[in-house]
Amino acid sequence: MPILPPFTVSIPSSEMAVRDALKQVLAALGPLELGTEEAGTVELVLAEVLNNVVEHAYPDPDTAGPISIACAHRIDGLHLQIVDQGEAMPDGTTPLGQPVSLDVDFEDLPEGGFGWFLIRDLAKDVLYERVGSKNQLSMRLAVALQPGETRH
């Protein structure tokens, strides 16, 4: 299986632009012929990461900036780097992404807090760095593995 050439998708920060980015990335991954589950993993992780950028890195839509998604297919899966020029992560680190507690009363059932849990659960090697005025989040998704590689 040939390795896909690296590519980058850039969007302005908005919820509708996130949809566009997901569509573009999945289209560019077409040659990998991902199955439903693998394509779902890529779409879900990227959606969570990009929605977080739109909501938290660029909280004011009037001053929202660009988001870029660089994607490289390697022998151990898909390497993603998401870069924005918005506000840094609080405390300079990513949320822990603990599972939500379901052992609660009906009215306390969680309506949020799933995003980082899903990212942590589905992505490997998650690394956040603040570089100058940029946030750089990189991760690996164990999809489209080359023969012989196992899913670690």
Partner 1 sequence: MQLSAKTEEQLRIVSVLGSRIDAAVALEFKDAMRIQTEDGPDTVVLDLSEVQFIDSSGLGAIVASMKTLGANRKMALAGLTPTVERVFQLTRMDSVFSVFSTLDSALAELRH
Q: Which stretches of the chain bind partner 1, using CB under 8 A?
A: 15-16, 18-19, 36-37, 39-40, 43-44, 47-48, 51, 54-55, 99-100, 102, 106-107, 109-112, 114-115, 117-118, 121-122
Nearest to partner 1 of 89, 122 (CB atom):
122
Nearest to partner 1 of 88, 118 (CB atom):
118
- Range list of H helices, 32-136: 36-52, 115-122
Find all residues with CB under 8 Å of 61, minimum gap 6, and list them: 13, 14
Minimal distance, residue 15 CB to partner 1, in Å: 4
Minimal distance, residue 27 CB to partner 1, in Å: 15
Minimal distance, residue 6 CB to partner 1, in Å: 25
Nearest to partner 1 of 43, 87 (CB atom):
43
Residue 95's closest CA among 77, 72, 112, 80? 112
Residue 97's closest CA among 59, 36, 45? 45
Nearest to partner 1 of 44, 126 (CB atom):
44
Minimal distance, residue 54 CB to partner 1, in Å: 7
Neighbours of 44 (CB within 10 A): 17
Angle in degrees, CA 66, 138, 18, rounded to 5? 40
Nearest to partner 1 of 90, 112 (CB atom):
112
Q: For residues 52 and 39, is the Cβ–Cβ distance under 8 A?
A: no
Q: What are phi and psi of 9, to 5 degrees?
A: -115, 130
Minimal distance, residue 38 CB to partner 1, in Å: 11
